[in-house]
A and B are shown apart, each in its own frame.
Chain A
Amino acid sequence: MKKLLSANQAIAWAANRAGCRVAAAYPGTPSTEILENIVQFKDVINCEWSVNEKVALEIGIGASLAGVRALVAMKHVGLNVAMDALMTFTHIGAIGGLVLVNADDPSMHSSQNEQDNRSLAKFARCLLFEPADSQEAYDMVVAGFELSEQHQVPVIVRITTRTAHTSTIVDLGAGERIEAPAIPYVKNAQRNVAMPAHGRLMRFAVEKRTAALRALTEESPFNRAEAGTGDLGIVAAGVAYQYVKEIFPDAPVFKVGLSFPPPIEKIRAFAAGVKRLVVIEESDPVLADQIRAAGIPVMEPHMELHMMELNPARLAALRAELLGTPAPETPKPEAGIPVRPPVLCSGCSHRGPFYILGKLKATVCGDIGCYTLGSAPPLSAMDTCVCMGAAIPVAIGMRKAGLANRRIAAVMGDSTFFHAGMTGLLDVAYNNIPITVMVFDNRITAMTGHQENPGSGHTLTGETAPAARVADIARAFGIQRVHEVEPYDLARLEQVFTECLDSGEPAVVVVRGPCVLHEKWAGKFINAVDADQCTACGACFRLGCPAIVRGEPKDPEGKRFKSRIDPQFCTGCNLCAQVCRFGAIAPAQGRNAS
């Protein structure tokens, strides 16, 4: 059975094929579609959106120790959150096969940083696979479950944005599920309770296991030499292999698929057959450094290859450097094309609160989600964004540092609050920190494509669930000043925000309004601008709403423009009418939908 599948889709099929019984993840681009595709097997794979990645991995650990196969998926920074669990679990060791799919995002297409998590796999002494396409993602996940069980080792499959979101033809074989019988559970404290006395024994076991894995990787069919001509040999891993095959079609290539532990002796033999060896891998020189450390000379090209996503053009430039071939000429991009950054949607429930925070000149510690777009002009209403949940502790730190601005707000969405914001809020309550924590609660994980979360009332599989209420959590933590407000009444937002920011005590404001994309929410009307009343003051443009566009010029020089509302995009949120001081914006005639 052949199918056109992204690596994320192929991984879901592989989990089913390998008899996986438990799957858990927290959404994060580019890994989100893995669990969204595993749901089709929910009758045989118990799957969930976890509250965060650490919880997801710990659930996978529990399932593994109970003797069944488990898959856990997360984006690269998710593993930072889950690292505590991984570092001890690698000491304890898997029982049922455990595969952790970890999606790196070179070039940061949808991430706040770039990091090469292959170093974390090496750090944790896990088996590491690097698929180059969807077929390999499928084959490696299936093999990963087997090897994890045989060697009691957590297996990491490192995909990248390019592999995760590229569809290629996958041969699923017969495709049907092969049940993996649960390994009978045996209570064994020495094996499963990590504490100093046991940990010391485990520590030696880890190194013994890694030595066995070094032998295994030398024999793996995922590591293979491909014959070619010329004196330049190339070691390639992950999607970089595809670029190598395209740009260096004749070169001898050593394809690394199982990359930790690296197949050093096989690479040594390959290197002996060529005059020069170069390693092409995406992001850090993780393989290159290990090959060099084994005493095998590896060239370091002059051109920079370790930051940002690789692509055929960068490899063509490398080819020119290494083989002295002329650099390929490529057409130059047109100059002066206006950029088109992502923006908060028209009708977005985050726009009004950011507009008011800007007006109040608050220092705003932000967080990860759609609302990070509140930092962009013209709203420009965010001072910091670090990582999931950091908004609150960063705001605490700023307050403790004695920042001159006493109006300090921490802003995050509902999913981020449940993921890693609650501990920060408890710190605010416990230590009586006079900052205002604002949760922009649209009851969905919007940025990654509308996944359910603990506040949304539903689970991954569509079951109803208790909807956790942020205000109740805040009160339970001991915060006295807690407000819930709706997002489209600017005067009310300004009143509540001002009161909280100036109160000198801990405060929580929950701004509750659904994501306009998710619930197809729209007001009962759409707005229009009366061109006779419009003075071209520009106030409505400062909302940054994509529905508000330039209308006719106000002056003959065409320097100032009246506004116009594009009826195709207006949702009737009515923020623009509230910021217009000249009464020029009102509901359009004849569109009362009631």
Chain B
Amino acid sequence: MTPLASLFNVSLVGVGGQGIVLTSDLLALAAVQAGCDVKKSEIHGMSQRGGSVISQVRFGAKVFSPIIPDGQSDVLVSFERTEALRWAHLAKPGARILVNDMERIPVTVSSGLQAPLRDADQRLAAYPGLMLLAANPLAEQAGNLRTANVVLMGALSTLIPFAEAHWQAAMRERIPARLLEVNLRAFALGRHAVGVSP
């Protein structure tokens, strides 16, 4: 495949511990496989302690800024519902917003220090590009709840012009052999869930 002529921007957001960094690694490696220039930028550090996490991947013929300007993400992938709303402004107007249909309540809300968000459903529904996917049950079906991130990546793969082989090569490069099978299954389930035949 020839490199994409224009830049393609993906923002991945969620909660520390959800596998966001691994997913963005795989996306970046798939972009390399597809012959693109690529930059992958993430902010971690305190993220392991359950904070909000963001990683951004840009690919195309030539990438300069590692940061995607707000409102310029072609796809926003959120591993959790509240985080999708927190970062929705990163997406281009009308762009695909792929969301794992699960909620992790911030401890500040569960302990009563902050008001809960009561209208999350309505707010999410207002985004025309919203794609809700229940990735957790599919991950369990694949054989490991912790592959929910790769289920989401399977769905994401249908929105990006890479060949399936590019994704699989990226997984073989980055995922330890003993976990490869379950992740390949999770990826296929995610792809299938949004309409690509297995």
A residues sitting closer than 8 Å to B (CB atoms) are 4, 29-30, 109-110, 133, 161-162, 165-169, 239, 242-243, 245-247, 311-313, 316, 328-334, 336-345, 370, 373, 377-378, 447-449, 517, 538, 541-542, 544-546, 548-550, 561
Contacts and interface: CB of A to CB of B under 8 A. Distances in A.
Residue among B47, B64, B91 with the most chain A CB within 10 A?
B64
A338 B117 contact: yes
B47 to A, nearest CB: 7
Contact of B66 (A4, A242, A313, A337): A242
Contacts of A341: 51, 106, 108
A241 B74 CA distance: 24
A330 B88 CA distance: 11
A544 B45 contact: no
B50 A331 contact: no
Q: Which 10 A-B pairs have the closest CB atoms?
A: A110-B45, A342-B51, A342-B49, A29-B45, A541-B111, A549-B110, A166-B66, A245-B64, A166-B41, A342-B46
Chain A binding site: helix, strand, loop or mixed by DSSP?
A: loop
Residue among A239, A316, A341, A342 with the most chain B CB within 10 A?
A342
Contact of B93 (A29, A331, A373): A331
Contact of A338 (B50, B66, B70, B114): B114
Interface string B30-71: 001000011111111111111110000000000111111111
B114 to A, nearest CB: 5
B85 A541 contact: no
B1 interface: no
Contact of B86 (A166, A337, A344): A337
B110 A339 contact: no
B107 A545 contact: yes
Contacts of B45: 29-30, 109-110, 448
Nearest to B111: A541
B116 interface: yes
Given A331-B88, A334-B86, 4 more contacts: A333-B88, A334-B89, A338-B82, A548-B110
A520 to B, nearest CB: 13
B115 interface: yes
A49 B45 CA distance: 18
Contacts of B111: 377-378, 541-542, 544, 548
Contact of A243 (B29, B63, B64, B91): B64
Contacts of A328: 69
A312 B110 contact: no
Given A336-B117, A341-B108, A541-B112, A243 B65 contact: yes
A330 B113 CA distance: 31
Contacts of B129: none
Nearest to A161: B43
A334 B47 contact: no
A337 to B, nearest CB: 5
A331 B85 CA distance: 12
B41 A377 contact: no
A546 B70 contact: no
A566 B116 CA distance: 17
A29 B42 CA distance: 13
Contacts of A373: 49
B16 A338 contact: no
Contact of B29 (A4, A110, A340, A370): A4
A343 B107 contact: yes
Nearest to A370: B49
A168 B29 CA distance: 10
B39 to A, nearest CB: 5
A331 B70 contact: yes
Given A165-B41, A334-B85, A340 B15 contact: yes
A316 B16 contact: no
